[in-house]
Structure 1
Amino acid sequence: MSTGEGRRSRKKCLAYAAAFVVFQTAIILLFVLIVMKVRSPKVRFNAIAVESFSSNINNSTSINTRLLAQVTIKNTNFGDFKYENSTLSILYNGVHVGKAVVPRGRVGARKTKKFDISMGLSGISDDSLRNDMNSGVLTLSSRGKVSGKVHLIKVIKRNKSGEMKCDWNINLATRQVEDFKCN
């Protein structure tokens, strides 16, 4: 074997080793950028139905309502999302009129968890309530935050929270939820 052939073979070996290092670096970089990126979960009301409704229009206008809502928590991460007890608030003209409790739980990696919650709205008495009742439409909104940790590869834990902001109207004549929008 001549010196030229030995040199050529060493150069090939070095080229293969360099190509392997570049390939491994690219794979690790893709893994870190795609799999290990931790995103906030998405929390939403899917549907809301009016279970019961009563109103009083005598001296002080007031409404008592019971709503049934389907809540979804969508985890787009490659690890489980474990969340603590949370409260979703129902607002009328920016005033807290009801709440729903989301019990602590877990959403698997790249899964969506759906569950039903019941919410009571009581004590709504506002000057504009009489006008809303006369118009036949009651405008409500909800706000909430579900906080927890995303567990990646059972070693990496990142605090994340999903926030919800929804607006909707209740048609008082039909007792149906209309114009439902979540951000």
Structure 2
Amino acid sequence: MGCIQIPRGIKICLIVTAILIAALAVVVLVLSLTILKPKQPKISTKSVTLEYIKWVPFPFHLNVTLGIVVSVDNPNYGSFKYDNSTAYITYRGVAAADAPIEHDTIPARGSHEISTTVVVIVDSLTSSPYFWADFTSGCMNFTSSTTLHGKATVFKFLKKKVTTYSTCDLSVYIQAQNVISVCHSKVKY
């Protein structure tokens, strides 16, 4: 018995098919490592306004209402649809307020603004040993943290669960009635 001879046309077809599959694998690998590689969104506080402040010295009572607008720039080629969430505000590790964030979608390679209002009732924070020193200095430092759970979608059929974490350091200047903030974010896929 001899070896089975494969016709030359089939050999060429198999070689061309193998080359095409290898080229397709290289293209998919390059795309997944470059264009489709998830990138960190850029989260920046567009504005934090002191909408309302009420201070009664005796008996001590202080309420602060902050209007927060956060801009999220999505550099990815996929949109991000997130669920309802909550933003938490803390003062030196003590819970000071929370605010709801409604579900929405951030478009691919687009920008999106998230706005909310936070009412901080400072009365419960007076037990902190730092409160009176911060209050009399005219600057109170808060931290906001938000976690958004959702799905990133690329080409309308590739879907992946994504969680974004954002923290902002907020300095509330009582006399000037303004706020300065610095935000940081990260994404977990």
Aligned to 1:158: 160
Query: Residue 150 of structure 1: CA displacement?
Result: 0.4
Partners of 2:146 and 2:74 lie apart in 1 by: 17
**SS of corresponding position for 1:131:** helix
Are 1:74 and 2:82 counterparts? no
Query: Residue 105 of structure 1: CA displacement?
Result: 0.6
Matches within 5 A, 1:134-153: 134-153=136-155
Partners of 1:41 and 1:29 lie apart in 2 by: 23
1:83-119 superposed Cα distances (whole Å, 9 cap, x missing partner): 0011111111211111222110111111110133211
| Contact 2:50 2:178 (C-alpha < 8 Å) held by counterparts | yes
1:21-78 superposed Cα distances (whole Å, 9 cap, x missing partner): 665443332122223323454444332110111123324x432011111112332221
Instruction: Sort the Cα spacing of 1:113 and 1:149 in 2 relative to 1 into closer, same or farther, 3 A.
Output: same
User: Paired residue for 1:129, among 123, 128, 131?
Assistant: 131
Q: Where do 5+ consecutive residues of structure 2 fail to align?
A: 1-11, 185-189
Are 1:88 and 2:87 counterparts? yes
**SS of corresponding position for 2:29:** helix
Aligned to 2:106: 107
**SS of corresponding position for 1:35:** coil
**Partner amino acid, structure 2, of 1:181:** V
| Contact 2:150 2:161 (C-alpha < 8 Å) held by counterparts | yes
**Partner amino acid, structure 1, of 2:172:** I
RMSD across aligned positions (CA):
2.6
**Partner amino acid, structure 2, of 1:45:** T
Partners of 2:19 and 2:163 lie apart in 1 by: 41
TM-score by length of structure 2 reads 0.76
Aligned length: 169
Query: Residue 177 of structure 1: CA displacement?
Result: 1.2
Partners of 1:167 and 1:78 lie apart in 2 by: 29
